[in-house]
Chains A and B, each alone.
Chain A
């Protein structure tokens, strides 16, 4: 029995279970927190489950929530693999959405599919621009990207507030006293296709396809190889002729681009306008942070990010129904997300230790062939 457990613990496939274990631990601590709040954890978690998967509509909502998480998570897979910690997803998503919305509102009438396609490109470039700035500052001025991306988030929020209250405000709202910061609604022709009666939109297809694209990019192209090499060992990469600074800019630029695309899809697939309450979360729903959580949970692998973001989408949607049924504020899920992150990064040590052990075992079981005897080699050469 002990042998079997050791075998399971040492097997390669167990690695995939580490995040699951981390999530279960977080849920267990969450259950203790719920008990302290005087709520039966079983009732609360059941409400969450039903809210996330209980009906076709619930499932659709879960997927809708997962789409921005997946897109931002894909960007995070790229930047974190280069050891660039991008926490500017919120700002990049906002700028991407601003660019895409402005495109749809102000460009002269064109066929719907063309506008959608070009708006997605606008969002992509908007986010890329916002991500490239901290990338450039890191690569050429040694400014820590964690700090600059946080600042860029704050700046993006103010830009959004300025545009949505000023130049881009919905003409109907401009006449009202309330002046809700929102843009006009995009024409029907520019909306992404939906599976009625749910709110599930075609953005999910874009996101999943891109997950495979990012997988190919990271693991089957030279660019991806370079990005990973820089993250693995920048000094060795430089020695090997990789332009490290350029890869850092590219990693943050791409990371921002996916966040920008997430913003564009949020507008064209879900709200059909850009709207906020004056805070970043008012538009993004904290997807910029939750996308990081999802990416980490998926092991920073683009394909792992697909189930991971589905899981966190379910948590977020489930939180709402939990709030209705057992009066647990949905903020509970934010705390839970934090615990998941802590457990996932904390478990990395065991994962590495097991990988090392496996490598040692492989070498022991299959030793390298002994070097040829020098005498024998010499015999072939005539004296």
Chain B
């Protein structure tokens, strides 16, 4: 049994599904990274993911077009992100708490729409695996990396793009300035509110895509509360990754590899109670947070609303 576990097929399976499991975290965490770097903590990620997952699923089911589904999810994510931005920036609400409000809203709303519009669990034909020519034929690596669906590829592509935007562009500089010292940025003519609206709305969009990557790419179903805490973990991964896109990538991969490992352990009947196996990634996250968080300093203005001194 244990020898089974270390066979090549199983290892490849663990790694390949680990890559796939990382997708929703990557979208949501990268989006959240932008928001937090500009100084806004959006704790409503989970709600945005659920709404994105439902919208993408429902539109895909009705129209048969995954792209329309994805587009609709993006629209809903942008709306929810914009609402969060308005509440945080203009109404200066306590961000940790308003996020819980958006979480509950998304949780209830997606469930309500699911029951009213679908009524039962259905499946949909979502994004299909795309074999990348040549690369997918490589032994081992091809199976692990290059036979995934489009949204998986895009998620991994997003990481270097996010790194580039944050560190090598004027926009990235403005985002970081607004998150570190909004007063100074404001004096230099950067619109603090404008930047924050942009990043938080974008965060909503990416969270919704993350939800859609579950409902129309990886699982192709929608269920009530199907993210079950995934959005909160995505927020944790931002801290975990030290607010850097590649750090987030590392965290997302670590978390989902451990998750994939425990799923395979259950499939192969490894004699560990499944409840403890499911617990593993969470325990690991806490341990890694303890080990890393103290060392990296977050954006100085995180969760602090900006008020221009009169």
Which range holds the interface residue count of chain B? 35 or more
Q: In the complex, what distance in Å separates the CA atom of A293 from the CA atom of B102?
A: 12
| Docked complex Cα distance between A40 and B97 (Å) | 31
Nearest neighbor of B91 in chain A, beta-carbon distance = A346
**Which residue from B96, B98, B273, B289 sits with its C-beta under 8 Å from A346?**
B98
Q: Shortest distance in angstroms between B275's beta carbon and chain A's nearest beta carbon?
A: 4
Q: How far is the CA of A153 from the CA of B105 in the complex (A)?
A: 20
CB contacts under 8 Å to B, within A140-177, are 141-144, 146-148, 150-155, 158-159, 161-162, 165-166
State whether A159 touches B236 (Cβ < 8 A).
no
Contacts of A162 in B (CB 8 A): 273, 275-276
Cβ contact within 8 Å between B102 and A137: no
With CB as the reference atom, state the residue of chain B lying closest to A160: B275
| A338 and B112 contact, CB distance less than 8 A | no
Measured CA separation A334–B65 after assembly (Å)? 31
Q: Which residue of A lies closest to B277 (CB)?
A: A158
Q: Which residues of A contact B64 (CB under 8 A)?
A: none
Give the residue name and chain of the A residue nearest to B289 (CB). Answer: A143
Interchain nearest-CB distance for A156 vs B (Å): 9
Partner-contacting stretch, out of B1-9, B214-222, B227-235: B227-235
Complex Cα gap A340–B87 (Å): 13
A137-B239 contact, Cβ under 8 Å, with A332-B108, A345-B98: no
A interface footprint on B70-106 (CB within 8 Å = 1, 0 otherwise): 0000000000000100010001111011101111111
Between B101, B228, B285, B294, the greatest number of chain A beta carbons within 10 A of the residue's beta carbon is seen for B101
Query: Within 8 Å CB of A289, what residues of B?
Result: 100, 104
Q: Mark B275-297, 1 if CB is under 8 A from A, else 0.
A: 11011001101100110011000
Residues of B contacting A147 with CB < 8 Å?
232, 235-236, 239, 285, 289
- Closest-by-CB residue of A relative to B281 is A154
Task: Tell which of B91, B104, B105 has the most Cβ of chain A within 10 Å.
Answer: B104
Q: Which of B96, B97, B233 has the most CB of A within 10 A?
A: B97
Given the interface contacts A37-B116, A151-B236, A335-B109, does A341 sit within 8 Å of B104 by beta carbon?
A: yes
B228 partner residues in chain A, CB cutoff 8 A: 279
Provide the B120-139 mask, 1 if CB < 8 A to any CB of A, else 0.
00000000000000000000
Taking beta carbons and an 8 Å cutoff, which residues of B are in contact with A?
43, 47, 83, 87, 91-94, 96-98, 100-109, 111-112, 115-116, 224-225, 228-229, 232-233, 235-236, 239, 273, 275-276, 278-279, 282-283, 285-286, 289-290, 293-294
Apart from A37-B112, A137-B286, A331-B108, list 15 A-B contacts with CB within 8 A.
A141-B290, A141-B294, A143-B290, A152-B286, A154-B229, A154-B279, A158-B275, A165-B275, A292-B97, A329-B111, A331-B111, A331-B112, A337-B104, A346-B98, A349-B91
